[in-house]
Amino acid sequence: MFTKDSRAESLLTMFGVEWRYTNKLTWDDLSSGWDVANHGRPGPARREGTIEAYATRAKTSSAPAPILWQRGDKYDPSDGVQRLCAAHKNQETEFSAYTFKTDSERLAKTIRVLANHLVQGDQETPKWNREQAVAVLAIEEKMSLQEIHDVTGWPLPGLEDEKEFQNWSHMIRCIGGPQHPQQMNRGMVHTIAIHAKASDLKAAPKPIAAFCHDLKRGKFTNGDAEPHIEQFFGKFPKQSRKNLHLVFEKRLEDFRNDPEVVTRLDGRPSSKLTPEMNLRGKLKSVRRVTQNILKARHQILYVEEYFQILRQIEKDLKAIQKFAAKG
């Protein structure tokens, strides 16, 4: 049912572990509960639809051999739980697999997390794989983002953004903010990271958590929320930093008294942003896009077209400035 797979061999060779390919393993060789824990995929370890598909496919073709971590005289699946379940369903008595040895829990975890991205088989989305790699390897195991980039080829700026999002989402949850990472717009979390300090969250957890809940409850988008976030976490006079909790309580009160915020939180149709806030938010969003493009070294064609738009905007702003001066 299983065959050799060059990607699995490359993965194991890359990490320098002792490994071999064998076709003489039986179900008694696997650790107890081998089909319960599956850290390479989200959700439950067993996916019956995938297992059934593998079992049916095995009647006409072979699947890549799973990767097993040898621990004493037993083996833990690092990759291929669904394929093993399908083989068991088909009443296979023996199966082939790649096995490796290591005393390093960290290295074994690295192989387990990255196998779904680097090895053939039914894969998760690149987005989920990257999130899992950052959560487990960068945050839990303290692996450098450069190391993850070198192994996976994922762009470093994307890994940095993911780590920042996960770190700040975690800090916001710890102070009582929205408890699910996806309950706050990713862009808003990044904006908070730009304007806030970790020490702010420790000094004033309640008003900051309440502010984050209000952004969620008011269904703010990142563009709508950005000027409010900048104002809420903006610079403080030096003497104010001694009483941050009181300062943030006052800023929360001011935020909740804003007519637009009152409208959003009362559940009525959202009022439009003032022209000043709308213009500022849009321009800052464009600036953030250009910074991300520059940081990732993306090549943009026909840049002159964007300069033309900028010159038109500059012309309009000068006209607005003259009109305001006359008023």
- Using one digit for the tens of pLDDT, what is the confidence trace for 89-122? 999 999 999 999 999 998 998 998 888 777 755 5
Same domain, 111 and 166: no
Same domain, 172 and 264: yes
288 within a domain of the structure (yes/no) = no
Token duo for residue 213: 């809940």
Answering whether pTM is above 0.85, one says no
Q: Are the C-beta atoms of residues 207 and 177 closer than 8 Å to each other?
A: no
Domain that holds residue 192: 157-278
Same domain, 16 and 105: yes
Same domain, 104 and 171: no
Same domain, 81 and 167: no
Of the ranges 122-126, 201-205, 311-315, the best mean pLDDT one: 201-205
pLDDT at residue number 31: 92
190 within a domain of the structure (yes/no) = yes
pLDDT digits (tens, 9 = 90+) for 266-291: 865 544 567 777 787 778 778 877 87
198 within a domain of the structure (yes/no) = yes
* Mean pLDDT of the 262-269 span: 75
Same domain, 9 and 108: yes
Same domain, 167 and 112: no
- Number of structural domains (the chain) is 2
Same domain, 18 and 87: yes
131 within a domain of the structure (yes/no) = no
Token duo for residue 104: 């390093």
pLDDT digits (tens, 9 = 90+) for 225-234: 889 999 999 8
Select from 239, 254, 278 the last residue of a domain: 278
pLDDT at residue number 42: 46
88 within a domain of the structure (yes/no) = yes
- Residue whose C-alpha is closest to residue 124's, from 133, 106, 142: 133
Q: Residue 97: beta bridge partners?
A: 22
Residue 54 confidence (pLDDT) above 90? no
Name the residue with tokens 């959700």. Answer: 43
d(CA 50, CA 68): 20
**Per-residue CA distances from 55 to 48, 77, 89, 90, 147 (Å):** 10, 18, 7, 6, 36
pLDDT at residue number 191: 92
- DSSP type of residue 42: S
Q: Output the average pLDDT for the chain.
A: 85
Residue 50's domain is classified under what CATH number? 3.90.1530
183 within a domain of the structure (yes/no) = yes
Same domain, 6 and 109: yes
90 within a domain of the structure (yes/no) = yes
* Mean pLDDT of the 31-58 span: 74
* Helices (H), ranges, the chain: 6-14, 48-57, 81-89, 105-118, 126-133, 145-152, 156-174, 186-195, 198-203, 205-217, 222-232, 244-257, 259-265, 275-296, 303-326
Same domain, 34 and 100: yes
Select from 57, 92, 116 the last residue of a domain: 116
pLDDT digits (tens, 9 = 90+) for 159-198: 999 999 999 999 999 999 998 766 788 889 999 999 999 9
Same domain, 83 and 172: no
Q: Residue 98: beta bridge partners?
A: 21, 67
- Residue whose C-alpha is closest to residue 206's, from 180, 175, 228, 251: 175
Same domain, 38 and 104: yes
| Angle at 122 (CA atoms; ends 12, 162), nearest 5 degrees | 75
306 within a domain of the structure (yes/no) = no
